[in-house]
Amino acid sequence: MVKCPKCGSDVQPEKTWQLISPLPDSEGRITITIMGSFHCVNCGFRWRGVVSKVKAGDSGVEVEGSSSKKALKDKEKKERPGQIIEVDLSDLDSIE
């Protein structure tokens, strides 16, 4: 869930795609950035931005919350289940 920078309404991404960093971080994990294009139904503003970041490595996948995790969870309970982020780890293995 992302807030509209113009009016502050909660906006769901219309479209998402993944940007995979070619270089692992200090712990050998690869960062996958989920980008999204957004359209605010309240004020009509359109923009693109980061939806979330996922770090994938030997110890599994860790989702990095960009905002307050508690606030996000409260909203997800009320409105809809959280967005499912699918990561194909077999693809990542072949990069190394």
Report the greatest alpha carbon distance in the chain.
Answer: 44
CA separation for the pair 71, 13 (Å, rounded): 18
In this complex, which beta carbon is closest to Zn ion, that of residue 44 or of residue 60? 44
The closest of 65, 66, 51, 59 to 89, measured between CA atoms, is 59
Question: Binding of Zn ion at residue 43 (CB under 5 A)?
Answer: yes
Question: Binding of Zn ion at residue 41 (CB under 5 A)?
Answer: no
In this complex, which beta carbon is closest to Zn ion, that of residue 9 or of residue 18? 9
| Footprint on this chain of Zn ion (rule: CB under 5 A) | 4, 6-7, 9, 40, 42-43, 45
